[in-house]
A and B are shown apart, each in its own frame.
Chain A
């Protein structure tokens, strides 16, 4: 099974900061990786698909990059409404859709 390891597990940053979260796959998954945002008490929301494609309607301060085993999710300028937990998810090993363990983002 493919394991997804996110880091850090939690992160505190100030408004306006550049925030980076990484996700590492246990084997090559090409670009078969998505990123989701889950705000407290809400369902997850798709932000980035296929490693680097911004979902329609998602602000451009969010971006993703990477391929193979190493992926990065970036918020270019943190906003108060970005407080959430972020998850990566792979889909290389269908029909398994493994999620990373999540990164909880807080405002400093």
Chain B
């Protein structure tokens, strides 16, 4: 069974750093792109970027380029999303999802809620 399990909710202060994770199982982790999607409170879905764990090739949405870093450790089948300096506007639910072929996100993690507040 394909599963993506994300790390737990985080509460951080502005300016702090953060790295959240997404662990894949039940399939060949290095053979599928993993994407990250943001959902701000009460809002829609925004695609942030994708990574191919096989070689760590990474692509970003222009809206998120330079704002976050996506990485992966194929040895433990885990993808990451990180911030070096959080802002209150980073408060959101973040989902990872597996990209089937190059077209659709067929399996999703349960989401990680990030709250940034002073």
A interface residues, Cβ below 8 angstroms from B:
1, 32, 34, 36, 38, 43-46, 49-50, 55, 85, 87, 89, 91, 94-102
Contacts and interface: CB of A to CB of B under 8 A. Distances in A.
Given A44-B95, A95-B50, A50 B103 contact: yes
Contacts of B95: 43-44
Contacts, number: 60
Chain B interface, >50% SS class = strand
A89 B111 contact: no
Contact of B61 (A38, A50, A96): A96
Contact of A44 (B45, B46, B59, B62): B45
Contact of A91 (B59, B102, B111): B102
B32 interface: no
Given A95-B50, A97-B35, A46 B104 contact: yes
Contacts of A95: 50, 59, 102
Interface range on chain B (Cβ under 8 Å from partner): 20 to 34
B47 A98 contact: yes
A89 B104 contact: yes
A102 B44 contact: yes
A55 B108 CA distance: 14
B90 to A, nearest CB: 19
Interface string B44-55: 111100100000
A46 B47 contact: no
8 contacts: A36-B105, A43-B95, A49-B103, A85-B44, A94-B102, A96-B47, A98-B47, A102-B45
A49 B99 CA distance: 12
A99 B46 contact: yes
A9 B72 CA distance: 36
Contacts of A46: 104-106
A86 to B, nearest CB: 11
A50 B106 CA distance: 12
Interface string B92-110: 0001010010111110111
